[in-house]
Structure 1
Amino acid sequence: MWTKNKKGFTLAELLIVVAIIAVLVAISIPIFSSQLEKSREATDLANVRGAYAQVMAAANTEDQASVKYGNGVYYLIVDLKQKQDGWTTSGSSLNIGGVTPADKSHWIGSPKAGSQCRVSYRVSDGVKLTWSGDVEIKNLAEPGQLIKDNDGKTFTAESIKITKDKAFFTRNITLNEKTYRTRSFYVGEGSVFQKDAENFDKNPVPTTFKDSSFYKDSYHDKYTNEVAAFAYFDLDENNNVKNYTFVTPDAVYYSADGGKTWTQK
């Protein structure tokens, strides 16, 4: 009796098919990831262009309510979506309001994953695009560690809260590879420097320590002339440092994690 020969795939043939599929997947995933990142970057550029249009419209009409404003500067902060540092896009796409990466005085830095772009305009400076991510902070005591002020007194965040007086400490802060001798002030409820912080928060612009109200109200000692920048902070219900603002002559930074990382205001 004749029977039909039912022949299937051999194990070797199946392994070859699986290997081919694996190779195709390995090739396609990087391509897909690259295209996805380009899509995120295109979204970021579109958002920055939108912020640029808003800032310029506000500047042209002197509208200080629709965007952020301080010391003659109109600006907006754009949160970036891209998950890789730098650029995958090139050419004419990197042109916002006539500003390109080649213009180092107006296109400042490059983006980092999950960072921000500050779009600003001032008559004397023109448009500035400042691309900055979280800034790593060095040489800053962690909350709860002992901190020595210039009088040699040692205290922690807990003891600062108890004194509610002219509590401050002075130490080096390194930011963007530049070191500043910085005096940090406690500005919590009932502290001497609370009003100084409230006034500065209304117009947070770069300034020197000696030109700030903190200088006028602080205790001057033999170390005062070494201070190049200043900072101020509050404490949460667990006496951990919060709302840390760091002011240099060139920029103002804010930290929500007690000074571990900073973003530009």
Structure 2
Amino acid sequence: MKRREGFTLAELLIVVVIIGILVSISIPIFTAQMHKAKVAADWANLRAYYAEIQADYMSTQQQNPKVKLYWDIDNADDWHSVTFLDGHKAEMKAGTCAVSFTDNKGYSIVYHCNKTHKKCDLGLGENYTSQ
């Protein structure tokens, strides 16, 4: 008697359907995690930038002309990046930011997520509570 080996077409279709269901469940989770990672990268860049410009202010007690303030920006694309004092530029991956300056207090930075999630917003400086 000859023994048949392998899977039937019905068994293979069931496996394909199960894999499809698992993929459809994991895509939204993956997308949310990607957004969180991009926001975290933006926050890290902004914290480093804030530390650099605030340290510069504390050592000189004056505004640095290299720091673009939000009212100096002509192009809305500039809201999507910051340029460090050494010249390298950090692009925002998931939001926009604006820098302001107040005499005797220094700089402040506000960041807003493109998806308008309140939990993704960040404020650094005298007027904001750091997250």
User: Do Structure 1 and Structure 2 share a fold, with TM-score over 0.5?
Assistant: yes
Aligned partners of 1:52 and 1:119 also within 8 Å: no
2:93, 2:52 → 1: CA distance?
Answer: 20
Ranges in structure 1 where 5+ consecutive residues have no aligned partner: 71-75, 83-110, 134-265
Is 1:61 the counterpart of 2:59? The answer is yes
> What corresponds to 2:36 in structure 1?
38
Spell out, residue by residue over 1:33-60, the C-alpha distance to the aligned partner (whole angstroms, 9 max, x if none): 2111111111000001011111101111
Question: Relative contact order (C-alpha < 8 Å, sep 6+): which is higher?
Answer: 2
> What corresponds to 1:255 in structure 2?
none
> What corresponds to 1:106 in structure 2?
none
User: What secondary structure does 1:6 align onto?
Assistant: coil
2:112, 2:25 → 1: CA distance?
Answer: 33
Aligned-partner residue type, residue 99 of structure 2: V
Aligned residue-pair number: 95
Is 1:80 the counterpart of 2:92? The answer is yes
The Cα of 1:119 is off from its aligned counterpart by 2.9
- Correspondence for 1:120 among 100, 103, 108: 100
User: What secondary structure does 1:68 align onto?
Assistant: coil
User: What secondary structure does 2:39 align onto?
Assistant: helix
Distance 1:43 1:128, change over 3 A: same
Aligned-partner residue type, residue 16 of structure 1: I
Spell out, residue by residue over 1:118-152, the C-alpha distance to the aligned partner (whole angstroms, 9 max, x if none): 2333225654223469xxxxxxxxxxxxxxxxxxx
Instruction: Calculate the aligned-residue CA RMSD, in Å.
Output: 3.1
1:61, 1:124 → 2: CA distance?
Answer: 12
Compute the TM-score of the two structures, normalised by the length of structure 1: 0.31
% identical aligned pairs: 41
Compute the TM-score of the two structures, normalised by the length of structure 2: 0.57
Aligned partners of 2:57 and 2:106 also within 8 Å: no
Give the structure with the larger helix fraction. 2
The Cα of 1:66 is off from its aligned counterpart by 7.6
Give the structure with the larger strand fraction. 1
Aligned-partner residue type, residue 98 of structure 2: R
2:17, 2:68 → 1: CA distance?
Answer: 60
Aligned partners of 2:42 and 2:92 also within 8 Å: yes
For the pair shown, which has the larger CA radius of gyration, 1 or 2?
Answer: 1
Spell out, residue by residue over 1:71-110, the C-alpha distance to the aligned partner (whole angstroms, 9 max, x if none): xxxxx9533102xxxxxxxxxxxxxxxxxxxxxxxxxxxx
Aligned-partner residue type, residue 118 of structure 1: A
Ranges in structure 2 where 5+ consecutive residues have no aligned partner: 70-78, 83-90, 114-131
Spell out, residue by residue over 1:175-214, the C-alpha distance to the aligned partner (whole angstroms, 9 max, x if none): xxxxxxxxxxxxxxxxxxxxxxxxxxxxxxxxxxxxxxxx
User: What secondary structure does 1:129 align onto?
Assistant: strand
Aligned-partner residue type, residue 80 of structure 1: M
